[in-house]
């Protein structure tokens, strides 16, 4: 059966290569008659990839430990939910998942109205760019990263899933990232194809829903990763500027830039070259994220395994850069509409793009710094969190300020409500003034809170001034997302620098006071199952004599994993969230209990929810796509 699955991937690769070759021949000769064949061959490849994926899923569900991948990531006691999600727990499975989603996206695009509306020549070029990419992923899956390797002497039981990954955040984080990554394949290929074919239908319009959805999924994946780190790792934070975290953030910067510059092209026909380049860059950075995580290039920081896919990935990225630059540079220069002045909404978007580019460059350089510094350092070291925070947080604060000001600027310049427009700026100045007056430090946090307040004030005013617009999906998606971003900025600005924590060993009956709260350790609860043994400390929390609730941090020992694993417990609040972990337990004594007070941290998650869901309101119907003109 597994040989059949491997064979299915192999045939899918050969079909993709065959179709891509046919597309090249047709493109070379200027013939478009073969397009239906390309579609059929791609459809066949999709069916074969689906069959291979189904076989892997079946192997996981039936816990067939004769398959190496199943033995590596599951065991007989793993709940079925985690067993299914083990599909993307490993490198080979996650690459298969990415390929499956990418292939599915191509089929969805094939049956979309957009595809029916574009010219046959554009379709031909689309397949010429898409099919080699699909073939490349299938090459990795049939060679260096094969999920269908069978064990000659299967173990009685598998190794199981790492306890740190048994969390809903980590279950959803990878697939959302991969779906986001795969989703950007369509806009990138469509951008290249439309450009080369001289497509009359605007590709930014045609790819709008793909861009928005992929962006929302990528954002969800990144933010869920942060939430997982907060809830599972027990250090009280959510972002550590780790190379693996940064890997997914870098394409997010270019994707965000693309969403905004595409709007300028849709409305005014400007920035066509930038958009083609950004669409390609986003896809290439998604592949680069995979390269960073899988190649071992950041080994000096974290010894990631070289799964054999590093070199092919970097070759593919280099080739993609060459093709993207060739297409973008060959575009005619003078025909695109020119941009408005800097003091316009267009100008603000361009400024935003430059901020995003700066952030992407900083994060990219910081992430690969150990590799760069190898040139002159014998023992290269990575940059620390301070480097990223010092440079990136002011840039994020600047971005928030742009969101407060930009809505009051006309698309082509000038303020459309000059008196009202001053209120957000005044709000920012007031917050900063109060912060300075009270001597609150760090100032950057005060500036961040001020910027968030300015955005919120700005959007409330905008809703008051334009009540009709409030009912439109475009307003809710764009300004709602900006408000959600402001909430994240607010949460980060407060929860980061003003977090306090205390560690104290406790025996049952003992307690302590901290930050105005009283904590009392009442005892230990034990729970045992075949899969896991749990010790749970029960901490009663009260404030001013009033009981607030219980914190129940746990210490778990999973079967197949020798070392205990800490489970965080939180007491939810929109103000100060209490966050508890235990390091060790000796008898009934916790050694020690760590309590952290995280002010306003939940606004990060509320903002995250908004920024992931609200952009989906920007989905455009076919009629809206067709009817839009530049000046609307």
Partner 1 sequence: MKNRTKTVAAYAEFPMRKLIVGMMAVAIAAIFLTSFITGANVPLERQAGAKKSMKSDEMAAVPALMSRVQNNPKDEEAFLELAELFSRTENWDKSIFFWTKALELNPDNLGGHYHRAYSLVELQRYEEAIADYEFILKAKPDAYQAHYYLGVINKHGLKKPDVAKKHFQQALAANPKDNELVAEINKELSDMK
| 288 counts as binding partner 1 under rule CB under 8 A | no
Residues from 76 through 95 that contact partner 1 (CB under 8 A): 89-91, 93-94
Does the N-terminal peptide bond of residue 442 adopt cis geometry, omega within 30 degrees of 0? yes
Tokens of 280: 């390609």
Q: Which of 39, 64, 75, 199 binds partner 1 (CB under 8 A)?
A: 199
Give the bridge partners for 557, in sequence order.
Answer: 533
Phi, psi of 104 (to 5 degrees): -65, -40
Q: Which of 98, 126, 136, 605 binds partner 1 (CB under 8 A)?
A: 136
| 11 counts as binding partner 1 under rule CB under 8 A | no
Tokens of 610: 């908004």
Residue 225 and residue 173 in contact, taking contact as beta carbons nearer than 8 Å: yes
Q: Which of 46, 129, 519, 521 binds partner 1 (CB under 8 A)?
A: 129
| 182 counts as binding partner 1 under rule CB under 8 A | no
Cα angle, residue 98 at apex, residues 92 and 99 outer, rounded to 5°: 90
DSSP state at residue 30:
T
Q: How far is the CB of 344 from partner 1 (least distance, A)?
A: 16
Query: Residues touching partner 1: how many (CB under 8 A)?
Result: 99
**CA nearest 51: which of 96, 95, 91?**
96
467: CB partners within 8 A, 6+ apart: none
DSSP state at residue 118:
S
Q: How far apart are CA 409 and CA 417, in angstroms?
A: 8
For residues 373 to 392, the per-residue mask of contacts with partner 1, x marking binding by CB under 8 A and - elsewhere, is: -----------xx-------
For residue 409, give the 3-state DSSP assignment.
Answer: strand
C-alpha neighbours within 13 Å on the C-beta side of residue 108: 13
Q: Which of 46, 73, 411, 579 binds partner 1 (CB under 8 A)?
A: 73
**Which residue, 43 or 240, is less far from partner 1 as judged by CB?**
240
| 175 counts as binding partner 1 under rule CB under 8 A | no
Q: How far is the CB of 200 from partner 1 (least distance, A)?
A: 5
Residue 220 and residue 612 in contact, taking contact as beta carbons nearer than 8 Å: yes
| 344 counts as binding partner 1 under rule CB under 8 A | no
**CA nearest 208: which of 120, 108, 279?**
279
**Which residue, 139 or 399, is less far from partner 1 as judged by CB?**
139
Q: Which of 2, 253, 277, 369 binds partner 1 (CB under 8 A)?
A: 2
Q: How far is the CB of 422 from partner 1 (least distance, A)?
A: 33
Q: How far is the CB of 163 from partner 1 (least distance, A)?
A: 9
How many other C-beta atoms lie within 10 A of the C-beta of residue 527? 11
Residues from 294 through 313 that contact partner 1 (CB under 8 A): 294, 301-307, 312
Q: How far is the CB of 326 from partner 1 (least distance, A)?
A: 6
Q: How far apart are CA 185 and CA 105, in angstroms?
A: 8
Q: How far is the CB of 278 from partner 1 (least distance, A)?
A: 16
**Which residue, 236 or 607, is less far from partner 1 as judged by CB?**
236
Q: Which of 12, 78, 144, 255 binds partner 1 (CB under 8 A)?
A: 144
| 235 counts as binding partner 1 under rule CB under 8 A | yes
**Which residue, 383 or 423, is less far from partner 1 as judged by CB?**
383
Residue 332 and residue 400 in contact, taking contact as beta carbons nearer than 8 Å: no
Q: Which of 154, 508, 511, 515 binds partner 1 (CB under 8 A)?
A: 154
Residues from 397 through 436 that contact partner 1 (CB under 8 A): none
Give just the sign of the alpha carbon dihedral 331, 336, 338, 342. Answer: negative
Tell me which residue has tokens 């009392």.
520
The interface region with partner 1, picked from 141-149, 439-447, 479-487, 511-519 by CB under 8 A, is: 141-149
For residues 258 to 277, the per-residue mask of contacts with partner 1, x marking binding by CB under 8 A and - elsewhere, is: ----------xx--x-----
Residues from 492 through 551 that contact partner 1 (CB under 8 A): none
Q: How far apart are CA 223 and CA 427, in angstroms?
A: 28
Residue 13 and residue 139 in contact, taking contact as beta carbons nearer than 8 Å: yes
Q: How far is the CB of 212 from partner 1 (least distance, A)?
A: 20
| 53 counts as binding partner 1 under rule CB under 8 A | no
| 553 counts as binding partner 1 under rule CB under 8 A | no
The interface region with partner 1, picked from 39-47, 238-246, 350-358, 533-541 by CB under 8 A, is: 238-246
Residue 247 and residue 289 in contact, taking contact as beta carbons nearer than 8 Å: yes
Q: Which of 83, 114, 195, 346 binds partner 1 (CB under 8 A)?
A: 195
DSSP string for 505-553: EE-TT-EEEETTEEEEEEEEEEEE-SSEEEEEEEEEEEETTEEEEEE--
Q: Which of 40, 200, 528, 622 binds partner 1 (CB under 8 A)?
A: 200
The interface region with partner 1, picked from 14-22, 34-42, 101-109, 484-492 by CB under 8 A, is: 14-22
**Which residue, 531 or 540, is less far from partner 1 as judged by CB?**
531
The interface region with partner 1, picked from 156-164, 406-414, 537-545, 605-613 by CB under 8 A, is: 156-164
Q: Which of 10, 61, 440, 504 binds partner 1 (CB under 8 A)?
A: 10
Phi, psi of 254 (to 5 degrees): -70, -35
For residue 580, give the 3-state DSSP assignment.
Answer: strand
Q: How far apart are CA 601 and CA 461, in angstroms?
A: 26
Residue 251 and residue 300 in contact, taking contact as beta carbons nearer than 8 Å: no
């Amino acid at each position: 059966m597994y040989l059949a699955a491997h064979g299915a991937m192999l045939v899918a690769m050969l079909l993709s290569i065959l179709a891509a070759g046919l597309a090249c021949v047709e493109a070379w000769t200027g013939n478009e008659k073969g397009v239906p064949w390309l579609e059929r061959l791609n459809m066949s490849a999709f069916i074969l990839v689906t069959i291979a994926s189904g076989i892997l899923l079946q192997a996981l569900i039936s816990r067939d430990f004769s398959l190496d991948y199943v033995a590596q990531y599951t065991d007989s006691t793993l709940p079925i939910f985690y067993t299914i999600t083990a599909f993307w727990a490993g490198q080979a499975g996650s690459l298969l998942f990415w390929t499956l989603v990418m292939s599915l996206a191509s089929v969805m695009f094939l049956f979309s109205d957009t595809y029916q509306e574009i010219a046959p020549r554009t379709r031909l070029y689309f397949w010429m760019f898409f099919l080699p990419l699909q073939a490349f992923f299938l090459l990795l899956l049939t060679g260096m990263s094969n999920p269908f390797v069978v064990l000659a002497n299967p173990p009685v039981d598998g190794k199981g899933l790492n306890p740190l990954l048994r969390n809903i955040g980590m279950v959803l984080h990878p697939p959302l990232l991969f779906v986001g990554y795969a989703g950007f394949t369509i806009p990138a290929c469509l951008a290249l194809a439309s450009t080369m074919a001289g497509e009359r239908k605007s590709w930014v319009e045609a790819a709008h829903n793909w861009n928005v959805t992929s962006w929302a999924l990528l954002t969800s994946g990144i933010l869920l990763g942060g939430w997982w780190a907060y809830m599972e790792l027990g250090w009280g934070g959510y972002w550590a500027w780790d190379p693996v975290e940064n890997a997914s953030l870098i394409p997010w910067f270019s994707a965000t830039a693309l969403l905004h510059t595409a709007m300028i092209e849709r409305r005014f026909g400007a920035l066509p070259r930038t958009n083609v380049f950004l669409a390609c860059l986003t896809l290439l950075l998604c592949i680069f994220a995979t390269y960073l995580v899988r190649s071992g290039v950041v080994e000096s920081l974290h010894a990631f395994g070289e799964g054999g896919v590093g070199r092919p990935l970097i070759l593919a990225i280099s080739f993609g850069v060459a093709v993207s630059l060739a297409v973008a540079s060959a575009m005619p220069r003078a025909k695109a509409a020119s941009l408005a002045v800097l003091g316009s909404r267009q100008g603000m978007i361009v400024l935003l793009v430059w901020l995003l580019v700066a952030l992407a460059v900083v994060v990219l350089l910081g992430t690969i710094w150990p590799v760069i510094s190898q040139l002159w350092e014998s023992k290269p070291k990575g940059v620390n969190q301070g480097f990223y925070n010092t440079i990136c947080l002011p840039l994020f604060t600047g971005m928030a300020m742009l969101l407060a000001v930009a809505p009051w600027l006309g698309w082509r310049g000038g303020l459309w409500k000059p008196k009202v427009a001053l209120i957000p700026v005044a709000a920012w100045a007031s917050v900063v003034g109060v912060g300075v007056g009270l001597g609150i430090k760090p100032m950057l946090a005060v500036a961040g809170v001020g910027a968030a307040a300015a955005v919120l004030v700005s959007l409330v005013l905008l809703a008051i001034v334009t009540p009709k617009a409030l009912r439109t999906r475009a307003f809710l998606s764009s300004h709602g997302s900006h408000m959600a971003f402001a909430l994240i900025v607010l949460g980060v600005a407060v929860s980061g620098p003003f977090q306090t924590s205390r560690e104290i060993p406790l025996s049952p009956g003992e307690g302590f006071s901290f930050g105005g709260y009283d904590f009392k350790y009442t005892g230990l609860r034990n729970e045992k199952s075949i899969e896991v043994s749990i010790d749970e400390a029960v901490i009663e929390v009260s404030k001013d004599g009033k009981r607030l609730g219980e914190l129940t941090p746990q210490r778990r020992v999973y079967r197949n994993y020798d070392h205990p694993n800490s489970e965080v417990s939180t007491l939810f609040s929109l103000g100060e969230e209490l966050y508890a972990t235990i390091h060790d337990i000796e008898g009934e004594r916790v050694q020690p209990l760590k309590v952290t007070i995280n002010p306003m941290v939940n606004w990060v998650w509320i903002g995250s929810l908004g920024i992931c869901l609200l952009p989906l309101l920007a989905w455009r119907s076919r009629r809206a796509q067709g009817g839009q003109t530049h000046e609307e």
